[in-house]
Structure 1
């Protein structure tokens, strides 16, 4: 197999780290972004010829473009993985304006900037693959997670539109929708708003049980999920969406079926706003 080069954001933990480790073990090349080089010092030491770490905060749009341009200046980059992001829990009114701005800048604007910066290079080299990490929460919404859902529903719409725009250039786009997994995302890096007692006992605070490992660990294996993501890059045409985790798939299918039923029930309502035939 010919060794490929991957550019992956957020490789210090979670899916980004699992992907990077597996790819390096396979002999592939990875350019990984982090905010702290110390967190990937072991990878730099173990894979000095195939791993390159770059400092990047994806909320810095100019820096995103600089890192992407620099990666392609060295040579071909086959796969872009937009992975950097985090979760923010709390009722909508518990979240501060600063928290709203930051999660949008990270999860949504940061991902958009990364993909837009890569597209001219991917076109120029004749194609490539973009993997946008999302979540089944890009299709399903839960109370207490409104801003995280806002960013993921937003990036899924962006990626689905871009997939249609760039397919003629041999650029494939895949949106990955994992379910709950045993990563730092759930058990370490998740941010929680300053909670208001008025929401105690409300569905908005149900997430507290989920974040407590004492209540049971998430079913998803990040290593197996990473392996499926890597395998997807060899699938042609690129799968637009890929749900990982049986619970995630069951939940997504249930929500989509209910949504379709709701839309079907609105046929008369929808038609009532059209001009009459012939007018």
Structure 2
């Protein structure tokens, strides 16, 4: 039996992962930001799972929470960094304060939780770290740039981390979902407060499109959860796991774009070195 530490299990993909892991017979330690939800979860899943209160934007809270979890349960076999927030708005429309809030939740919170769990995994010489990224962590979209930037950052440090910890028996994977039927595009979606009319046909169009698909997304969270569990239990989990047909399409588009630019500028690149 594995012990899973999953952040942000109140809804969406985090909730689906937690439920699927419990049904499999593994033990879930899940986090909420609301004490009432913590108490309700602990009554419902007594002896099968345990909920804790955690704000991933609070560094001290992360340290104390994980310390208590290790003290209580002795180990964390699988870390799933799922907690995060969505945000739409053109780059110029977005204030620095809004940017900081997105990065605190999506990047710095993920980074700090990872750093705090790593010493315990290093001691055991084993463990899986699952970073919930996005197809938007590979390809950027007009109107999604700040969210994209936060997920690009998660992709960057996690790719390096995977190389650093592989010799220590720790495996890192980036999960890159496309649109899934969660509350991501609903009321919880953050938006830039400043709206600039010149971006109506770019960022504005994306904002409208994203809201219009709420509840109609192609992705099934339960199937995604099952894919993640299978990834953890595989002998050699891949670094990246795209989920959904849209993710396959958009990531494929990005790879083709990068390849095209690489070939177009190959001779220029070669000519910028000392003879």
TM-score under structure 2 length normalisation:
0.95
Check 1:61–1:14 CA distance in 2 against 1; reply closer, same or farther (3 A cut): same
Residues 157-206 of structure 1: CA distance to partner in whole angstroms, max 9, x if unpaired? 00000000000111000000000011011123111112424235321112
Deviation at 1:69, TM superposition (A): 2.0
Deviation at 1:124, TM superposition (A): 0.5
- Aligned residue for 1:92, secondary structure, equals coil
Distance between the aligned counterparts of 2:273 and 2:177, measured in 1? 40
Alignment equivalent of 1:10, drawn from 8, 14, 28: 8
Distance between the aligned counterparts of 2:83 and 2:149, measured in 1? 16
Distance between the aligned counterparts of 1:220 and 1:199, measured in 2? 33
Query: What stretches of structure 2 of length at least 5 have no aligned partner?
Result: none
User: Is contact 1:182-1:222 (8 Å) kept?
Assistant: yes
- Aligned residue for 1:238, secondary structure, equals coil
Distance between the aligned counterparts of 2:16 and 2:24, measured in 1? 12
User: Is contact 2:41-2:51 (8 Å) kept?
Assistant: no
Partner of 1:79 in structure 2?
78
Aligned ranges 1:59-78 → 2 under 5 Å: 59-74=57-72, 75-78=74-77
Partner of 1:251 in structure 2?
250
TM-score under structure 1 length normalisation:
0.93
Partner of 1:35 in structure 2?
33
Q: Which moved more, 1:165-174 or 1:38-47?
A: 38-47
Distance between the aligned counterparts of 1:261 and 1:102, measured in 2? 35
User: Is contact 1:4-1:78 (8 Å) kept?
Assistant: yes
Distance between the aligned counterparts of 1:195 and 1:221, measured in 2? 33
Partner of 1:168 in structure 2?
167
Distance between the aligned counterparts of 1:238 and 1:28, measured in 2? 18
Q: Which moved more, 1:19-28 or 1:162-171?
A: 19-28
Q: Which moved more, 1:30-39 or 1:11-20?
A: 30-39
Residues 216-237 of structure 1: CA distance to partner in whole angstroms, max 9, x if unpaired? 7111111111111111101122
Partner of 2:51 in structure 1?
53
User: Is contact 1:9-1:33 (8 Å) kept?
Assistant: yes
Partner of 1:107 in structure 2?
106
Partner of 1:139 in structure 2?
138
Check 1:106–1:214 CA distance in 2 against 1; reply closer, same or farther (3 A cut): closer
Distance between the aligned counterparts of 1:181 and 1:40, measured in 2? 25
Deviation at 1:50, TM superposition (A): 2.2
Provide the aligned C-alpha RMSD in A. Answer: 1.6
- Aligned residue for 1:206, secondary structure, equals helix
Count of aligned residue pairs for this structure pair? 274
Partner of 1:159 in structure 2?
158
User: Is contact 1:187-1:213 (8 Å) kept?
Assistant: no
